[in-house]
Structures are given as C-alpha cells and as structure tokens.
C-alpha cells in the first residue's frame, strides 16, 4: 500500500504536469484539504517540501504566493509511478484543473518579485503574460523592502488595470 505522503507527492506531480505551467502552493494544498484527501495541512507541506528537496519540483516566490513547477526529473518520476495514483483521484485532479483553469492560468501569468541590489536599493520586477506571450515587464528601483512589498502586492491585485492604463497612455 502507498503511504499518504507518497500519494500527496503524486497528486502534486500530477497536477503540476497537467497544468503545463506553475501552480500556487496554496492551490495544491487547498485541493488536498477541500477534497478530504488529507485533513493534515502539515502532511501536505511535508510532501511538497520533500519534492522540492529531491529536485522533482521547483518553487518561486512572487509576493505572497509561492508558485511550483514540475521539473523534467519530476515528469519522469510521475511517468514511472503514475499508475500508483488511484484513477478516481486522477479524474478529480483533472476535473478541478479544468473547472478552475482560467483562475489558475491568471495566477501563473502574473509575476512579481523583488531583490536587494548591491548599492542598497531594492529592485522590483513585475511581469504579465498571456498564453505564454510576454505582455509587459517592468523593473522599478525603490528605496526599501517595505515599499517593494507594497508594489508587489499591488501589482498582483491590480496588474490588469495598470497594464490597461499604461497601454492607453502610450497609444
């Protein structure tokens, strides 16, 4: 019998593989909890952490979100063990991804992060994609980390409005 942690890992790999892009860590965790596949938040986080440590997935923090992606090694591992994942669970994952596809895609298509520069300033990198095509990429220099966090959060909330205003002003 497959251990619960292994099932959570397979579900995570399966969902990331089926999206073809990144998924928010919370999306996967919420899926496991909402479907009653686990009632233990820490177990789901342990599974994700072990996948990260083994290089089967990668993570990138964008504002308050952590986005996960499957690696080539993760795809190979999934192909080898996919039959261990119950067909009903695979169907549930597929149905969930289909039903929530637009929201998931929007989450993955907007990027925002910041990092400290050698001179002490903080640089904020904001981006938006649509269907894999880069729409906008903005890099701002701000005086401190608190302002960077605010810019990142506002971009995640208001990127469509900002993009529309930018295009309107330029055209």
Query: What pLDDT does 1 receive?
Result: 54
The answer to the question of residue 49 being in a domain is yes
Counts for the chain of helices (H) and strands (E), in that order: 7, 6
Of 78, 99, 120, which residue sits at a domain end?
99
| Residues 6+ positions from 3 with CB-CB distance below 8 Å | none
Question: Are residues 146 and 79 located together in one domain of the fold?
Answer: no
Question: Are residues 91 and 144 located together in one domain of the fold?
Answer: no
CATH label of the domain that carries residue 74: 1.10.10.10
The 3-state DSSP class for residue 68 equals strand
Residues of the chain with pLDDT under 50: none
Tens of pLDDT, residues 50-63: 999 999 999 887 65
Query: What pLDDT does 169 receive?
Result: 85
pTM here?
Answer: 0.66
Are residues 137 and 125 in contact, defined by beta-carbon separation less than 8 angstroms? yes
Domain limits for position 59: 4-99
Of 70, 99, 128, which residue sits at a domain end?
99
Question: Are residues 93 and 113 located together in one domain of the fold?
Answer: no
């Amino acid at each position: 019998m497959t251990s619960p942690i292994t099932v959570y890992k397979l579900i995570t790999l399966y969902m990331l593989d089926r999206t073809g892009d990144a998924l928010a860590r919370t999306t996967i965790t919420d899926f496991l909890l909402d479907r009653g596949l686990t009632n233990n938040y820490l177990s789901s986080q342990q599974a994700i952490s072990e996948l990260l440590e083994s290089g089967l997935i990668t993570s990138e923090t964008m504002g308050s979100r952590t986005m996960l992606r499957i690696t080539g090694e993760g795809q190979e591992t999934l192909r080898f063990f996919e039959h261990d994942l119950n067909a009903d669970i695979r169907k549930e994952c597929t149905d969930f991804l289909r039903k929530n596809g637009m929201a998931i895609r929007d989450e993955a298509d907007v990027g925002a992060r910041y990092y400290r520069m050698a001179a002490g300033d903080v640089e904020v990198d904001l981006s938006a994609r649509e269907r894999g095509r880069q729409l906008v990429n903005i890099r701002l220099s701000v005086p401190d980390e608190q302002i960077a966090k605010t810019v990142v959060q506002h971009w995640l909330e208001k990127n469509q409005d900002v993009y529309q205003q930018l295009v309107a002003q330029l055209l």
